[in-house]
Amino acid sequence: MIVVLAGGVGAARFLEGLVQVVPPETIVAIVNTGDDMVFHGLHVSPDIDIVTYTLAGIVDPAQGWGIRDDTTHTLSMLATLGAETWFKLGDRDLATHIRRTELLRAGWTLSQVTDAFRRALNVGVRVMPMSDDPVATEIATPVGWLHFQQYLVQRRARDEALGVRFVGVERARAAPGVLEALRAAETIVIAPSNPVVSIGTILAVPGVRDAIVASSAPVVAVSPIIAGAPVKGPAAPLMRAVGLEVSVRGVASCYRGVIDVLVIDQADADLANDLRVSGVDVAVTDTVMRGPAEKRRLAEATLDAARTARRCRSY
Ligand code: FO1
């Protein structure tokens, strides 16, 4: 079994490659829920939906989130009625949030809802929220603490990011199956997601980091940073906010003690030796995922790196 720690778009694209290489049923994706937020009274789980829609083949390919060819009639009417509509929820996407909220109110857990939805959409990969308990990623800015979606989407990351916190994480329990999957994993992969607000959140759930460190499986991370910049999203200001350099060095230091090997892009090949000296094994390959063939190649290279990795993490 391969366990993948996943954020949103980067992780979803990586998983699209992985399902070309190993049977989907042998993959467990543990997904960040710190980005979850209530909009119009509905529970929205962006990263879970991004992963599920992508693997179901219905994601909007240009945005990487939402559903392809979706319409926004509901949002227009909500705006007419005076609602805040800065978070763009399409009509079909809203069905997911309506049904999720209905089931949560009926007593289902987020794990149960997530599993039911991925089955309904014929996704073979087991998709698990990191926790069924609420965790909210917040960014410290000069205007105060902002929920991650307010920081990123409502205010378009225009505020200086000064710090990051995961509200509720100390009390959050790993969702059922999460620690068990990590213990049983043959390979653990950290997807090319934001190391601070996607993977950092998952690692902060009590028990998760320890389960990874204690696992006998190789742990491999794919850098979301190429040549000093993220492929997508606000990783740069958020890495700086927690004192990390925006480079593969910053990614390696964020994951030090947790991973054995870091997969970096050819563009960063000159830093490979530096990283090895600092105590992490390195595999260099082309990590930009444009089409299906490149996604597949990255998945293969990542599994190869895991197979040949020396154990570098600490107990
Ligand atoms: N990202 C945006 O930049 N603007 C949006 O309006 C937006 C809406 C949205 C709706 C559903 C969903 O599942 C994701 C959505 N995202 C949107 C993406 C999301 O904010 C982030 O990319 C993730 O939370 C980070 O992985």
For the stretch 242-292, pLDDT in tens is 999 999 999 999 999 999 999 999 999 999 999 999 889 999 999 999 999
Residue of 153, 154, 202 with the most ligand 1 atoms within 8 Å of its CB, for mutation: 153
CA of 89, closest atom in ligand 1 = 10
Distance CA 70, CA 74 (A): 11
Residue 287: which domain range?
1-315
Confidence of residue 311 (pLDDT cuts 50, 70, 90): confident
For the Cβ of 166 lying below 6 angstroms from any atom of ligand 1, the answer is no
Give 186-213 pLDDT, tens digit per residue.
999 999 999 999 999 999 999 999 999 9
CA of 50, closest atom in ligand 1 = 13
Q: Would you state the pLDDT for residue 309?
A: 87
CA of 93 from ligand 1 middle (Å) equals 11
The CATH number of residue 149's host domain is 3.40.50.10680
CA separation (Å) from 170 to 8, 21, 174, 182, 255?
Answer: 23, 36, 11, 19, 20
Domains held by the chain: number: 1
Question: Are the CB atoms for 45 and 110 separated by under 8 Å?
Answer: yes
Residue with the bigger pLDDT between 232 and 217: it is: 217
% of the chain beyond a pLDDT of 70 = 99
Question: Are the CB atoms for 1 and 179 separated by under 8 Å?
Answer: no
Q: What would the mean pLDDT of 146-156 be, rounded to a whole number?
A: 98
Question: Are the CB atoms for 55 and 12 separated by under 8 Å?
Answer: yes
Tell whether the model's pLDDT for residue 125 goes beyond 90: yes
Tell whether the model's pLDDT for residue 315 goes beyond 70: no
Tokens, residue 275? 């990283």
Q: Would you state the pLDDT for residue 312?
A: 77
Report if pTM > 0.85.
yes
Task: Please give the backbone phi and psi of residue 155, each rounded to the nearest 5 degrees, phi first.
Answer: -110, 10
Q: What would the mean pLDDT of 38-55 be, rounded to a whole number?
A: 98
Average pLDDT, the chain: 97
Give 91-119 pLDDT, tens digit per residue.
999 999 999 999 999 999 999 999 999 99
User: CB 225: neighbour CB atoms within 10 A?
Assistant: 27
CA of 253 from ligand 1 middle (Å) equals 28
Q: Would you state the pLDDT for residue 74?
A: 98
Could you tell me whether strands 219-222 and 261-265 are parallel, antiparallel, or unpaired per DSSP bridges? parallel
For the Cβ of 46 lying below 6 angstroms from any atom of ligand 1, the answer is yes
Q: Whose CA is nearest to atom 25 of ligand 1?
A: 8
Q: Would you state the pLDDT for residue 314?
A: 65
Tell whether the model's pLDDT for residue 238 goes beyond 80: yes
Give 168-184 pLDDT, tens digit per residue.
999 999 999 999 999 99
